[in-house]
Amino acid sequence: MSVLQGKVLVAQGGGPTAVINQSLAGAVLESRKFPQVTRVYGALHGVSGIINENFVDLTEATTHNLEAVAVTPSSGLLSTRDKPDVAYCQEIFKVCQAHDVRYFFYIGGNDSADTCRIVNEEASNAGYELRVIHVPKTIDNDLRVTDHCPGYGSAAKFVAQAFAGANLDNRAIPGVYVGVVMGRHAGFLTAAACLARKYPDDGPHLIYVPERPITKEQFLGDVKAAYDKYGRCVVAVSEGVVGPDKKAIAEQFTGGERDSHGNAQLSGTGALGDLLSGWVKNDLKIKRVRADTLGYLQRSFLGCVSEVDQFEAREVGEKAAQFAIWHNRDGSVAIRRTGDYSVEYFLTPLETVARVATEMAPEYIVPEGNNVTEAFRNYVRPLTGTMPLVARLSAPTVAKILKK
């Protein structure tokens, strides 16, 4: 096998995560070890930076700079919401050719995998040797093939810690608390709220994910049952939760704004939380009802990272460089769970990850559709790593004197 000499190009696409720069640092530092790599370029703002040739030369970034960026959340190379079509990908390919790029690593979700697939095809059709690797990243955990996605574990840890705190707060001053979590089609991130439960009466008492349609009647019945049982109720709900018509309940409240992918805006608004808390106040006549929308903190909060996630995000970046430069392969880096808890990495064809996203398996959701199962808990627990300690006072009750 002849050695393919040329440049490496790295870019980051889609929503940032807490560990996306671990993958960047992994890919860059590993690439710089190979003598056939002439330069390592980074494109600013993802694919839009490629077609505009907005590159920085990461060959000249210090290792210490890359290591400091690695622990900084949100795309160090900045990002884009562009979702390239074939013509756009042809532009990408032309720029790669002009700059003698022979290795292209794109860190992103299933749309980014599709970009990788098309660019790879264009190069192949033109007879130009271009190795293309998709490096997985998403807080939604909705990529096919891989056991889980880098970025998910840290976001899941944030959600779990947010609900652990909300549960303690709700226990101190009882009422109904609704926390809205990111996730348009996949409920993985919302489901991670289950890790907030330690004591048997801890919340979230109810968890709703987009995979299971809900009705207003079911929701209010569930909240009432929990409130009657515990004197309080904590609810975790996905922003993308749907009604019986399979349409997002939040969608009618967003003023019709759509992102560049044609999707209705669900995040960055408190509308769904306010709608659900309105239902509880008006129909159940419960006075203290509060709704929070966890919002962009879930993917960007500084200082809440899963160690496992951080480690794996680094390794998928390193593996991308190894698969492409050592082994001359194209594909998407995926994670296989091999033990409890151990993993190995493998390369899956780009078309197996591109475009179509995945959802939670049915065995992860209880039949009633209002909570997650032990199977899911076992799946998610290793991914978030250690949770901070939570403890309740343990002391005997004192006999009353005046109110005997």
Distance CA 110, CA 123 (A): 20
CA-CA-CA-CA torsion for 25, 15, 140, 162, nearest 10 degrees? 90
Residue 201 designated active-site: no
Nearest CA-CA partner of 17 in 143, 151, 131 = 151
Nearest CA-CA partner of 65 in 105, 28, 104, 19 = 28
Stretch that binds a copy of itself, among 93-101, 107-115, 129-137, 317-325 (CB under 8 A): 93-101
Binding to a copy of itself (CB under 8 A): which residues in 186-215?
196
Binding to a copy of itself (CB under 8 A): which residues in 14-43?
15-16, 41-42
Stretch that binds a copy of itself, among 168-176, 204-212, 240-248, 335-343 (CB under 8 A): 168-176
Tell me the closest approach of the beta carbon of residue 12 to a copy of itself, in angstroms.
8
Q: Of these, 221, 231, 278, 349, which contacts a copy of itself (CB under 8 A)? A: 278
Integer CA distances (angstroms), 204 to 113, 163, 290, in order: 34, 7, 14
Give whichever of 75 and 120 is closer to a copy of itself, judged by the CB atom: 75
Distance CA 317, CA 310 (A): 11
Tell me the closest approach of the beta carbon of residue 177 to a copy of itself, in angstroms.
7
Query: Does residue number 166 form part of the binding site for a copy of itself (CB under 8 A)?
Result: yes
Number of residues counted as binding a copy of itself (CB under 8 A): 90
How many CA atoms, within 13 angstroms, populate the side-chain half-sphere of residue 189?
Answer: 32
What is the distance of C-alpha 143 from the center of its chain?
10
Question: b or e along 18-27 (b: 16 or more beta carbons within 10 Å of the residue's beta carbon)?
Answer: bbbbbbbbbb
Angle among Cα 360, 364, 366 to the nearest 5 degrees reads 120
Kindly name the residue from 140, 142, 202, 330 that is annotated as catalytic. Answer: 140
Give whichever of 31 and 267 is closer to a copy of itself, judged by the CB atom: 267
> Do 195 and 384 meet the contact criterion of CB atoms below 8 Å apart?
yes
Task: Report helix angle 271-284 to 216-230, nearest 10.
Answer: 70
Structure tokens at 387: 């949770």
Q: Of these, 8, 164, 207, 353, which contacts a copy of itself (CB under 8 A)? A: 164
Tell me the closest approach of the beta carbon of residue 147 to a copy of itself, in angstroms.
25
Give whichever of 15 and 26 is closer to a copy of itself, judged by the CB atom: 15
How many CA atoms, within 13 angstroms, populate the side-chain half-sphere of residue 293?
Answer: 19
Binding to a copy of itself (CB under 8 A): which residues in 57-86?
57-58, 60-62, 65-66, 68-69, 71-81
Give whichever of 258 and 327 is closer to a copy of itself, judged by the CB atom: 258
Q: Of these, 128, 165, 244, 261, which contacts a copy of itself (CB under 8 A)? A: 165
Distance CA 16, CA 24 (A): 12
Q: What DSSP state is assigned to residue 324?
A: I
Give whichever of 145 and 284 is closer to a copy of itself, judged by the CB atom: 284
Structure tokens at 327: 């082994």
Tell me the closest approach of the beta carbon of residue 286 to a copy of itself, in angstroms.
12
Stretch that binds a copy of itself, among 91-99, 114-122, 337-345, 350-358 (CB under 8 A): 91-99
Distance CA 56, CA 145 (A): 32
Tell me the closest approach of the beta carbon of residue 55 to a copy of itself, in angstroms.
4
Give whichever of 205 and 212 is closer to a copy of itself, judged by the CB atom: 205
Query: Does residue number 108 form part of the binding site for a copy of itself (CB under 8 A)?
Result: no
Give whichever of 94 and 337 is closer to a copy of itself, judged by the CB atom: 94
Q: Sign of the CA dihedral 99, 100, 103, 109?
A: positive
Query: Does residue number 231 form part of the binding site for a copy of itself (CB under 8 A)?
Result: no
Tell me the closest approach of the beta carbon of residue 368 to a copy of itself, in angstroms.
26
Query: Cα Rg for the chain, rounded, in angstroms?
Result: 23
Stretch that binds a copy of itself, among 30-38, 50-58, 121-129, 344-352 (CB under 8 A): 50-58
Nearest CA-CA partner of 29 in 72, 3, 68 = 68
Give whichever of 342 and 394 is closer to a copy of itself, judged by the CB atom: 394
> Do 138 and 151 meet the contact criterion of CB atoms below 8 Å apart?
yes
Tell me the closest approach of the beta carbon of residue 42 to a copy of itself, in angstroms.
7
* Binding mask of the shown chain, residues 300 to 329, with x at each position contacting a copy of itself by CB under 8 A: xxxxx-------------------------
Distance CA 182, CA 384 (A): 17
The residues assigned a catalytic role are: 140
